[in-house]
Amino acid sequence: MKSFKLDWLILPIVGMFIVLAGWQLLAGKKITTKDQEGNILTEERQGLVPALPNIGETWTSSKPYIVEPMAKRGELDQGMLKFTLMSLGLVAVGYAIALIVGVPIGFWLGLSPTFAKMFDPIIQVLRPVSPLAWLPLGYIMFMEAGKDTGTLAALFTIAICSMWPTVLNTAVGVRAVPQDYLNVGRVLKLSKTKTLFKILIPATLPYMFTGFRLSLGIAWLVIVAAEMLTGRPGVGGFLWQEYNSLIYEHIILSIITIGVVGFILDRLMSVVEKRFKTA
């Protein structure tokens, strides 16, 4: 089937309208009964999923958080951009720790069969562990940090959960370096440091960036769970607070924000990855 010129724009818009129509179809609507004097007698919600806010209700309730993105009305009552920046700040630190720790481990796994035999089984066991399981351990490890315990536990959880894709992809990249490259290094009598920076790292970069991209996506997913459980201000903390306050419109706002930010982060990392691959 031949694609038309604007399919990249029109088809996503059509898809979005279908999703929005499905949301509106499922959502409930508040029905108010009044007496002759205009006093409210009863209020109830009707629809396929009565508690689910519709599009109009979600927009009306969420508007202050969107049109005033940097407002601060309280610790957990701020504009969505401000919440997002708080979450991104924590993700950046945890993600950086994951890369700093994960890349050397990946190189050791790829270069040393002995190291791989010792630690690869442990990595395979730890890799699928949920962030919900790591967070309590983080609390235990940093319980002496006082008021910073929650932040450090969140950073620990982000770092350890997002580290594995970088570790494994780096190891795969190192193992995939052609033997001829290493032979040329030996012929030129390059030192181990020069072999690492002149041959191994450049040849492994495409694999490493695939791992970096996957790690970033996981870090952003983990921050939401970490904020929900630690009560830190941020997108995840705001989502959990609004759930406890029964303000369901703001839950949808948080979900959309998380999705949009995750998409933007992935696109940005994809651009960086392409630039390095073509360099």
Residue ranges covered by each domain of the chain: 81-278
- Rounded CA-CA distance 19/49 in Å is 16
Buried b (16+ CB within 10 A) or exposed e, 140-166: eebeeeeeebbbbbbbbbbbbbbbbbb
Tokens at 222, concatenated: 């983990």
| Distances 244 to 59, 231, 240 between C-alpha atoms, Å | 20, 12, 6
pLDDT at 53 (0 to 100): 92
Asked if residues 167 and 102 have their Cβ atoms less than 8 Å apart, the reply is: yes
CATH architecture of the domain with range 81-278: Orthogonal Bundle (1.10)
**pLDDT of the chain, 279 residues: tens digit per residue:** 555 667 778 888 999 999 999 999 999 888 888 777 777 777 788 888 989 999 999 999 999 999 988 888 887 788 999 999 999 999 999 999 999 999 999 999 999 999 999 999 999 999 889 888 898 899 899 988 888 888 899 999 999 999 999 999 999 999 998 888 888 888 888 888 888 888 888 889 889 998 999 999 999 988 888 888 888 889 988 998 999 899 999 999 999 999 999 999 999 988 887 777 655
- Rounded CA-CA distance 205/165 in Å is 14
pLDDT at 230 (0 to 100): 81
* Three-state DSSP class for residue 86: helix
pLDDT at 192 (0 to 100): 84
